[in-house]
């Protein structure tokens, strides 16, 4: 599927963005492993989250979607299963931890893209708790076998919410106390949700301590995904005024707002509130004279998914922007350092990839052109922003990959 994006001299509007993907994954998976029944409203029903739902059904939980609500009836004991995680790294990595101490034999598979992504980064620290996990040369398929887990102190090599979450989920079934330490704080949706579900968990700085716990099903109202809102907010900064409603602004996820501050983007948070333990607000962005920015590793845990669209903003900003510490982008759905640089070049911009990021020399205007998505949803949506703000627009090849995280993106953009 190819999509043509026409240039927009003005881009103004009020948008209701789909639910947060990270929170939807966790709400479905954690409730499927808990006692009782839960209702999840505002859930994202993109392909990745549907993969999580399918895996939990394969393991014996009841998961059904009716209208805008997902109902989950959990079970504390799973059955042996083969779980197809599709393209979802979150599904596979979190399941590795969730299943590690539950006495089941599970085989986790995925599509060609997921099968090329590293899984030992999760399996190795889980083995420190006693997990019996095998990978295929560090990749999927992954086998999780029955094992008795014991508490331990684990220092992770990277600040990754997926690695941390897998360890926390395994620790729920381990004897004794477990402590997970990260080099930098990563997104904390897992800690917030598990605490609400009755887990014995406490977090302080870069450290999370967990004791063996049973979970109770808890209703979840999923806020809009700030990663998905970022594309519309970026177009507002480039071309007009945009209001995105009910967006999750958890500080561990809202690094893009810190980048907006540095880039001179004018925005306000309206109607700030807390929903199911998560901070939420309406975000209004105004057209702004953008300036170049420099940022690095300290922002990556709260920003990693938005880096490609931030790079597009930098391509329109005055001066030279430098992004470092983003080597994690190399192991996403595509090598996002290479594919982001190629996408900006196709738009007519000036972006030099580095080992761990980019050097981007901004221009007041980009010509536009034809872009390859490389079947990566973040690249396709970032390209759509650049094309809409360009002089002549252009076409995105393999554009249907946006359904992984944002079904209906192009319709809303139009």
Catalytic positions, please?
Answer: 305
Q: Is residue 322 within 8 Å of 359, Cβ to Cβ?
A: yes
Distances (CA, A) of 324 to 257, 293, 304, 329: 18, 11, 11, 11
Instruction: Tell me the three state secondary structure of residue 191.
Output: helix
Q: Which residues pair with 354 in a beta bridge?
A: 357
CA distance 190 to 171: 13
DSSP three-state, residue 310: helix
**How far is CA 344 from each of CA 7, 64, 273, rounded to the nearest angstrom?**
16, 41, 36
Tell me how far apart the alpha carbons of residues 384 and 401 are, in angstroms, rounded to a whole number. Answer: 13
Cis peptide before 141 (omega within 30 of 0): yes
Q: What is the DSSP letter of 213?
A: -
DSSP, collapsed to helix, strand or coil, labels residue 176 as coil
CA torsion through residues 230, 116, 53, 36, sign: negative
DSSP run (H or E) holding 126: helix 120-127
Dihedral angle sign, alpha carbons of residues 16, 21, 23, 24:
positive
DSSP bridge partners of 134 = 143
Residue showing tokens 């992984």? 404
Cβ neighbours for 173, distance < 8 A, ≥ 6 positions apart: 100, 101, 102, 149, 212
DSSP E strand stretches across 224-367: 240-248, 266-275, 278-286, 294-295, 320-323, 350-354, 357-361
Distance in angstroms (rounded) separating the CA atoms of residues 226 and 176: 36
CB burial of 197-222 (b: ≥16 within 10 Å; e: otherwise) equals: bebebebeebebbbbbeebebbbbbb
């Amino acid at each position: 599927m190819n999509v043509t994006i026409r240039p927009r001299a003005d881009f103004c509007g009020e948008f209701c963005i789909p639910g947060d993907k990270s929170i939807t994954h966790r709400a479905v998976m954690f409730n499927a492993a808990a006692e009782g029944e839960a209702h999840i409203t505002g859930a994202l029903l993109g392909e990745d989250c549907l993969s999580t739902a399918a895996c939990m059904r394969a393991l014996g939980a009841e998961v059904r979607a009716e209208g805008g609500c997902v109902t989950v009836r959990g079970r504390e004991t799973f059955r042996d299963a083969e779980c197809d995680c599709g393209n979802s790294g979150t599904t596979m990595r979190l399941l590795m931890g969730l299943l590690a101490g539950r006495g089941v034999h599970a085989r986790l598979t995925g599509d060609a893209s997921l099968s090329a992504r590293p899984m030992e980064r999760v399996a190795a620290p889980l083995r420190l708790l006693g997990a019996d996990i095998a990978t295929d040369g560090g990749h999927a398929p992954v086998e999780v076998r029955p094992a008795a887990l014991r508490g331990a102190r684990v220092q992770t090599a990277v600040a990754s919410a997926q690695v941390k979450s897998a360890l926390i989920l395994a620790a729920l079934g381990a004897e004794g106390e477990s402590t997970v330490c990260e080099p930098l704080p990563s997104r904390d949706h897992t800690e917030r949700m598990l605490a609400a579900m009755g887990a014995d968990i406490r977090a302080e700085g870069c450290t999370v301590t967990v004791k063996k716990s049973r979970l109770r099903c808890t209703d979840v109202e999923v806020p809009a995904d700030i990663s998905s809102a970022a594309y519309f907010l970026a177009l507002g900064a480039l071309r007009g005024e945009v209001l995105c409603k009910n967006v999750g602004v958890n500080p561990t996820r809202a690094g893009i707002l810190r980048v907006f501050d540095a880039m001179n983007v004018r925005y306000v948070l309206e109607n700030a509130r807390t929903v199911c333990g998560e901070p939420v607000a309406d975000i209004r962005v105004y057209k702004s004279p953008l300036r170049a920015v420099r940022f690095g590793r300290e922002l990556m845990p709260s920003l990693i998914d938005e880096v490609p669209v931030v790079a597009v903003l930098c391509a329109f900003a005055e001066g030279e922007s430098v992004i470092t510490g983003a080597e994690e982008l190399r192991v996403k759905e595509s090598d996002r350092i290479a594919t982001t640089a190629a996408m900006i070049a196709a738009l007519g911009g000036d972006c030099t990839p580095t080992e761990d990021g980019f050097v981007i020399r901004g221009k007041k205007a980009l010509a536009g052109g034809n872009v390859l998505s490389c079947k990566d949803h973040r690249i396709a949506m970032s390209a759509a922003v650049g094309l809409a703000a360009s002089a002549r627009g252009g076409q995105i090849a393999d554009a249907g990959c946006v359904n992984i995280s944002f079904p209906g993106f192009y319709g809303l953009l139009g």
